[in-house]
Homo-oligomer: A and B are copies of this chain.
Amino acid sequence: MPIRVTRRETFNAGHTLRNPEFSDERNLEVFGKCSNPGGHGHNYVLEVTLEQEVDPRTGYVFDLRLLSELIEKHVLADLDHRNLNTDVEWLRGRIPTTEILADAIWDRLEPHLPPGSLHSVRVRETEKNWVERCRG
């Protein structure tokens, strides 16, 4: 019987939403106040879910302390207290929307997890907006 386990982490980061190929007017039209050139930021919440059979020797699907360490090493060490437009190698050239964050975090984590175990990556940007990439 497969069971899903989720780990919740938080990070604080800055960003602005602008497509460099758009004019200022077009950026303002598409991204609204999120396109302010000085930037703003968020308390992001990250929820990573794995799905696997329970190991009968431990009662665990996956050690959540280990999952927390993998998230810290491969994701938060690069994102926490950083500017997502300029400070993060693996976001370079992408507009750092919540969608892109969820997509990129999935790609960062998956190679370090048991094959097929990653079930979803959810990123909450505010109390009102969140995004999820799920196993297809």
- Give A residues with C-beta under 8 Å from B: 1-10, 12-15, 17, 19, 21, 30-34, 36, 38-43, 54, 57-61, 63-65, 68, 80-83, 86-87, 94-100, 102-103, 126-134, 136
CB distance from A128 to the nearest CB of B (A): 5
Q: Are A136 and B2 in contact (CB under 8 A)?
A: yes
Q: Are B39 and A39 in contact (CB under 8 A)?
A: yes
Complex-state Cα separation, A99 to B21, whole angstroms: 39
Please list 22 pairs of residues, one from A and one from B, whose beta carbons are closer than 8 Å in the complex, sorted by A's number: A3-B99, A3-B131, A5-B129, A5-B131, A6-B132, A8-B128, A8-B129, A12-B40, A12-B126, A13-B41, A14-B38, A19-B58, A30-B63, A33-B80, A36-B83, A39-B39, A39-B83, A40-B81, A42-B42, A58-B97, A59-B97, A59-B100
By beta carbon, the residue of chain B nearest A101 is B59
Instruction: Please name all residues of chain B whose beta carbon is closer than 8 Å to the beta carbon of A39 when the two chains form the complex.
Output: 14, 39, 41, 83
CB distance from A83 to the nearest CB of B (A): 3
Instruction: Please name all residues of chain B whose beta carbon is closer than 8 Å to the beta carbon of A3 when the two chains form the complex.
Output: 99, 102-103, 131-133
Q: Are B133 and A1 in contact (CB under 8 A)?
A: yes
Instruction: Please name all residues of chain B whose beta carbon is closer than 8 Å to the beta carbon of A60 when the two chains form the complex.
Output: 97, 99
Complex-state Cα separation, A86 to B38, whole angstroms: 7
Q: Are B131 and A6 in contact (CB under 8 A)?
A: yes
